[in-house]
Chain A
Amino acid sequence: MSLNVKAIRKQFGTRQILNSVDFEVQPHDIHAIVGVSGSGKSTILRIIAGLETTDGGDVLWNNKSLLNIPAHKRRVTMLSQSALLFPHLTVGENVTLATRSRSRKQAEEWLQVVRLGDRYDAEIHELSGGEQQRVSLARALAAEPELLLLDEPFTNLDPKLKVDLQRFIRDLVKELKLTAILVTHDREEAMLMADRVTLLESGEVTRTGTVEQLYDTAPGFGDFVMLEGELRPLAEVEVSETAGEPVQLMKKIYRFGQCFGEYHFEDGRSVMLSTEESFQIGMMYRIKRKEG
């Protein structure tokens, strides 16, 4: 089941937030919408969720318009920056409430999935930020959504937890064959989690494509690297063992059968580049312009 966002427009007061936004989300994909603050990316999610109206355009789910369907009937759930758990309910009650048959058993199963199976009776304030976000994920999944909306859900987490949860959610979405839209300002996060990416700038789509396509072609997608005294997009550089500026490979991330490496310069900058698996973590390499 695919989602089609067609020529959506939205204005708040005199400010045009979205200006004819078009993109398509493929079934079972994680689709990232990447843009800076104020680019309108969260507004798109809110429109899809039914929490905001549009001034024009349409949102089609399986070729049927979602716009006239109330939020609670859309089979869409949303995970936000804050966990937004209901404070008067326990962990388990929050999840049970979201299950379609109000079943404790199902809620317990979802809590097991997010590795919080033993916290059913815990109060919300007893949980850490990361645990609360996992409960929020369990609640979102317990509703058996067809579409999962992720509105910068990793923003308030510490770096270690952030990476863990990013991977955890990506694996889970893939395992459950869900379709998800991730809104983020963090291009690295989009690259790690998404199958396809839409770049948004001042309420307009500047580019849409797979992560690989954008990584290779979109100017500005991915970090820039100072090389030979000039700022260059990552797509123009490569790692070798022989010549160029020295960097150290800190970690490898495998995605889509391709290996990405996170390299650190001595001055603290870091970049991500696709690389060969044979490179060793912790060793010094050279970063240089791509041949040709």
Chain B
Amino acid sequence: MIRQVLIISLVLIPFVSLFLAIPAIEFENREAIFHSIGLIVLLSAINVWLATAFAWWLLWTESKWRYILEWLVFLPLFIPMLATLFGLYLILAEAGLIGTYIGVSLGLLVVTLPYSIRLAYNGMAVIGRPLLEQARLLPMRRRFVYVLFPLFSRTMRTIALFTTVILLSQFALIQLIGAGLIPTVTTELYQSYAGNNLSLALSNTWMLIFFPVLIYFLLSGWSRWMVRMLKGRLQ
């Protein structure tokens, strides 16, 4: 029991400190919020789509390139983020995408996609190949709507949450590739830290926490409602 209490305390310590000061009620830079929400929605959707498609391919392919491709896709997981970031910076600079919304989105996609594919692949492995094979015998729309979506919705939610958390943790990437022109909640947070405004920093920190929690509840509710609705169509 002591061990469990110790572990939980370790996990919760950072959050306890957030209650030690009173946060400012308003968040000044609305543009940063809109950018953050836009990036979260866009990248979560793209990550779920690409990761699911690639994991599905990995699961069934008999290509001799499978292992090489799998290794290449998961390679960024083992490489320090700054190395990836610098390589990305050079390519995007060459393409003239530094300081643009597209450049930041591409950069964040490169960083988040390997994690998403790994999550999607593991999610499919949990469902199991034999069950997914039964689904393959169903017409394509039914397969995705009535089988894959309900069975895979938790994994999709995890991918969206992971994308959100990684995205909100990326100060260096957004600052470097966005060239300071794409403000997000994260970049604002660092500025408030730098300005020694504890109340504003706290407000921004709560905003950082608020996004994933909100997304978690929204996605949970939505997927539960969708599954119930889809099951209703089979009655």
Contacts and interface: CB of A to CB of B under 8 A. Distances in A.
B138 interface: yes
A71 B151 contact: no
A97 interface: yes
Interface residues of A, number: 26
Interface in B190-235: 227, 231, 233-235
Contacts, number: 58
A93 interface: yes
A82 B131 CA distance: 10
A82 B130 contact: yes
Contacts of A90: 231
Secondary structure of the B contact surface, majority rule: helix
How big is the B interface, by class?
20 to 34
A89 B140 contact: no
Contact of A86 (B136, B151, B233): B151
A102 B137 contact: no
A93 B131 contact: no
A87 B131 CA distance: 10
B191 to A, nearest CB: 46
A77 B135 CA distance: 11
B130 A104 contact: no
B142 A89 contact: no
B234 A93 contact: yes
Nearest to B146: A97
21 contacts: A50-B136, A51-B136, A71-B136, A71-B137, A72-B138, A72-B139, A77-B137, A78-B137, A82-B130, A84-B131, A84-B134, A86-B131, A86-B135, A86-B147, A89-B231, A89-B234, A97-B142, A98-B138, A102-B142, A102-B233, A104-B234
Given A53-B62, A88-B231, A102-B233, 19 more contacts: A49-B137, A51-B136, A52-B62, A71-B136, A72-B136, A72-B143, A76-B137, A77-B137, A78-B137, A80-B130, A84-B133, A86-B134, A89-B231, A93-B231, A96-B235, A97-B138, A97-B146, A97-B234, A104-B234
